[in-house]
Structure 1
Amino acid sequence: MVLPVPNPTKSYWIEAAQSPLKDWRSTPELPNQTDIVIIGSGYTGATAAYWIHKHTAEHGTTPHMVMLEARDICGGATGRNGGQLRPHAYSRYLTWTTRFGKEGGLALIKHEMAHLDAFRDMLTAEGIADDVSFRLGETFDAAMTPAEWARLKSNYDAFVKDHGPEADVIRDCRIIEDPNEAEAFTQMKGCVGAVVHPSGQVWPYKFVHALLKIVAEKTGKLNVQAHTPALQVSERDAEGYITVTTPRGSVRAKAVIHSTNAWASHLLPEYKNIILPSLSTVAALKAPADLLKCTGAQQWGGEIWNYHLQIPPPYNAIIVGGAKCVITHYPRDWIKQGDDSKHLPGVADYMRTWGAAEVFEWPQDAGSELALPAQEGGSWTGLTSPTADAFPFVGAVPGREGHFIAAGFGGHGMPRILLSTAHLAPIVLAALGVQGVKKPAMLDKFPSMPQPFVPTAERVESLKDFDVQADIDADVKEHEAAAKLDIANGPRAVGWKTAA
């Protein structure tokens, strides 16, 4: 597996933020020794550093950390995602219970839903909620076909049957079965029914930069190094150190946290068939303030969907992700592909028409402009990191003493990573023998990390021979079938073919 490409498409999140920490290097030279090396400066790496700090802050025993980033700080998947803090409140329930039983499915949902309160508590405690455009509110799954409505409602009904309507994670969910009411609430033309549930949103790039600044300033023990890819990692030597090699020299560490998500197998080859990148598409549209009532997703079924949110003033941009009715026509160009320097055909033009075509009462003066030119961050590609068994890997790396992993969040990391790295931090600290470790009080009310996330030796071994090509072929076949649906054959979805 190669390193991330050095010239990714520009993202609105990054370009509009204009962060002075973009190319951050805490010191001109790379330190030659530290306690922990964190590889990756996105959401996972930043929260790992934060929780290591919080678990040791009371006794002042925070270990020294060096963070290595191949690109600019948070220039990978987190700086290119959709910004939605959107748990699967019910929609995966039948799939998860088939694999893990009723209580296993419930545990996965509780973990995701807990991220809403966890984000609120953490950002409020650090005083940065407004700085990172954080909001809690409602979201919706808008079913755009009767078949998709049946699928969504069957998951909702199954959850209520198994756990009751007053279960804490479903209590604030509701269904809207009347199409007129569903259209009015969602603002989506053609919606036949909707499920509404709690959700949140955040400016992911600003969030990571703010968090890293807090850890660096409060501890004085975080050294951040942009444009410094990790090329190789060693096993632990006789003195207890792991050597991490970069183009700028090597750094020795007692522990290494691999927070490289889709690129984990670059340094951990045992994951080469288990965690792989895939491309996704996102755009930012100009819009008046508060045009959309809440975040949401349109779902047609057959692998075709969009999702959206609106950033608070003064930015007001609407972030739209998906464009699946376009990209379903060329699935081999993006499924299990990792070159995010490419703009996928037809996506920018489709995104420009999204508001007028899909949203009720879209004002004429809102137009159809991207918030920035397409090549300057108005439309971009990002990476997801699907895994062979559909769950991330968070914990000690089996068979590699001193190595830890938090990767493979599959494009759904926002409601999974924060409490996963909270689980990982004390494991790393215990392995290092750090004294004065105390769980932050804010974590007491949150559930433990789900068992399917744990990277046991048995789990990794069972997946090492996963047939990636067969998986790609099956995924391609599903998208080729979806490409025959009516929604994928209108002028907005296929106009790029004529232009090409």
Structure 2
Amino acid sequence: MSKFPQPWRSTVSHWQATNRGPTSLYGHGADDELPEDADILIVGAGMMGCALSYFLTRLGGAGAGKRVVCVESKDVASGASGRNGGHVGPKTYALWHQLQQAYPLGAGLSAEEAVRVMQNERDNLDLVERVVADEGLQVDFWRGELLETHHDKARTKWCKEQYEAWLSQRKKMGLSGDETKFIDDAAEAEKLSRFKGVTSVHVRPGGSVHPHKLATALMHLALASPHAQFSLHSWTPASGHPQRRGDRWVLQTSKGAIRAPRVILCTNAHTRHFFPRSSPLHGHIEPYVGQCSSLTPTPTFSGAGALRNTYNMLDGHYLVRTASGELVLGGGVAPLVRSGATPMSRIHGNVDDSEASIDPAITRDHATFMRNFEAWGPEAYGEGLVRTWVGVLSAVRDWLPLVGDVPGSAGLSVAAGFAGHGMARIFAVARGYADTLKKGRWDTALLPRCFEITEERLRRAEAAQARWTRERGNARVIEGQIVEAIANLDHDWEWV
């Protein structure tokens, strides 16, 4: 169960460590008095809470002319949003295929609806680029190509088949796939990727950003907006299920109660904390921990030899190059879980992002992984792995974000459940939901309908869990999803 205030000291990521100056918003509003009332109350100042704060407080936004309050249990982007891999990379055919599979290993979507979900991720990349440019944000944003590498002929065959099926479905819907390509010439794939032993490479649009700087910049824009009365209250943890009192919801915090007709839980892995066990939302989103590391490249991967792409690679590893040239590496859990080196119990259900959750097996893997690249090393003292950290992500029963009013609880809404893939989804979700709040209706051009929280969706996923439990004894569905996905490697199990 999530605990705030935390009884532990969290690890510090590369991103959090490199944004600590006077404009970084650490401790902002921690000592300010919390208003008793707001028009809109946002709970959580991770990337979702920051992006939603930004969109709501723009000219003509749903928060314009209103009092908008954001409460955060610690600091801006102190959780997983400030601890991720820095990717803003949309997925393509692999997740498209997975989303069409039956519950609980997929979402049971049609091929067409699954394309809409993937297009929403592509829209997310475009939106991040546009906001960064329009607002002049100094957040180390980069856009280019992501290289997804494959490492045996069977995987290459499967990936190429799914890639062509995905492209065909896109073309049926009038969508282009021109910015992607599939290279199945092994020599060419290895030369392009610089990765030893690859059999093929999928090249697609990708991006990276300094997530802590981005979240902070968005919150600064909300705080400075002349169009809304906005305030941020750090170190103000909320507790318990919001209670309905007349036409308002009442939420208890460490500074007392605050009331608002609209409460939005942007609490991702910690969302279950706000719902009783009897609620289907309590079990629909569950926490797990992921681990990332930063590495200083060797001279052969510096200067003219620096990597020029982001990566998804062997066994779910992923990689970005930061603006300063450092590398951020994550993933690699799959073989460790399969071999028993990393127990699933260490990952699933864990909400502890302290040093105690750093896995020595993952650390060793990250420390040696770059040897898979041609001409890496040798490492001088201070090169190679220099920092490792953990963060708490969300696993979701049907793999899809949960957006909108809680069924039967008008005015209490959720924007959470990003299944370890938040940076590729959050901006588009924040913009789409802000539009929904403004217009009072759901626009499927901005948000896939399958993201909406409905009683039917929650019950269907709950039934899948019950069916899984009957068939597999005491195995819980989300843990079963993770084990099955790791075994099949159909899901990259990324933390981006």
TM-score normalised to structure 1 length: 0.84
Q: Which moved more, 1:395-404 or 1:157-166?
A: 157-166
Structure 1 position 383, deviation (Å): 2.1
Q: In the alignment, which residue of structure 2 is the partner of 1:80?
A: 83
Q: In the alignment, which residue of structure 2 is the partner of 1:93?
A: 96
Q: Does 1:359 align with 2:373?
A: yes
Which of 183, 188, 191 is the aligned partner of 2:195? Answer: 188
Aligned CA-pair RMSD? 2.8
Residues 352, 368 of structure 1: 8 Å contact kept: no
Residues 134, 203 of structure 1: 8 Å contact kept: yes
Structure 1 position 172, deviation (Å): 0.9
Which of 355, 359, 364 is the aligned partner of 1:349? Answer: 364
Residues 296, 307 of structure 1: 8 Å contact kept: yes
SS of residue paired to 1:386 = strand
From the superposition, tell whether residues 402 and 473 of structure 1 become closer, same or farther in structure 2 (CA, over 3 Å): closer
From the superposition, tell whether residues 407 and 473 of structure 1 become closer, same or farther in structure 2 (CA, over 3 Å): closer
Q: Which moved more, 1:395-404 or 1:14-23?
A: 14-23
Q: Does 1:294 align with 2:309?
A: yes
Residues 30, 236 of structure 2: 8 Å contact kept: no
1: distance between equivalents of 2:223 and 2:122?
A: 29
SS of residue paired to 1:83 = coil
SS of residue paired to 2:316 = strand
Q: In the alignment, which residue of structure 1 is the partner of 2:236?
A: 228
Q: Deviations over 1:411-438 (max 9, x none)?
A: 111121111111211333467xxxxx9x
1: distance between equivalents of 2:30 and 2:345?
A: 40
Residues 383, 411 of structure 1: 8 Å contact kept: no
Equivalent residue pairs, number? 456
Which of 281, 300, 306 is the aligned partner of 2:317? Answer: 306
Structure 1 position 142, deviation (Å): 0.1
From the superposition, tell whether residues 267 and 166 of structure 1 become closer, same or farther in structure 2 (CA, over 3 Å): closer
**Among the aligned pairs, what percent are the same residue?**
26
Q: Deviations over 1:308-357 (max 9, x none)?
A: 01012xx21100000223354322210232222211122223212222x1
Q: Deviations over 1:21-74 (max 9, x none)?
A: 1221176222222111111101110111111112526x9933211111112221
2: distance between equivalents of 1:367 and 1:200?
A: 30
SS of residue paired to 1:385 = strand
Q: Which moved more, 1:77-86 or 1:346-355?
A: 346-355
Residues 170, 176 of structure 2: 8 Å contact kept: no
From the superposition, tell whether residues 214 and 27 of structure 1 become closer, same or farther in structure 2 (CA, over 3 Å): farther
2: distance between equivalents of 1:118 and 1:481?
A: 34
2: distance between equivalents of 1:382 and 1:41?
A: 15
Which of 12, 15, 18 is the aligned partner of 2:14? Answer: 12
Residues 70, 227 of structure 1: 8 Å contact kept: yes
Structure 1 position 241, deviation (Å): 2.1
Q: In the alignment, which residue of structure 2 is the partner of 1:209?
A: 216
TM-score normalised to structure 2 length: 0.85
Which of 44, 48, 52 is the aligned partner of 2:48? Answer: 44
Q: In the alignment, which residue of structure 1 is the partner of 2:245?
A: 237
Alignment-mate amino acid for residue 294 of structure 1: N
Alignment-mate amino acid for residue 474 of structure 1: G
SS of residue paired to 2:260 = strand
Alignment-mate amino acid for residue 210 of structure 1: A
Residues 235, 401 of structure 1: 8 Å contact kept: no
2: distance between equivalents of 1:482 and 1:115?
A: 28
2: distance between equivalents of 1:186 and 1:452?
A: 35
From the superposition, tell whether residues 162 and 366 of structure 1 become closer, same or farther in structure 2 (CA, over 3 Å): farther
SS of residue paired to 1:276 = strand
Q: Deviations over 1:5-35 (max 9, x none)?
A: 4522221110122143122117622222211
From the superposition, tell whether residues 480 and 169 of structure 1 become closer, same or farther in structure 2 (CA, over 3 Å): closer
Alignment-mate amino acid for residue 110 of structure 2: G
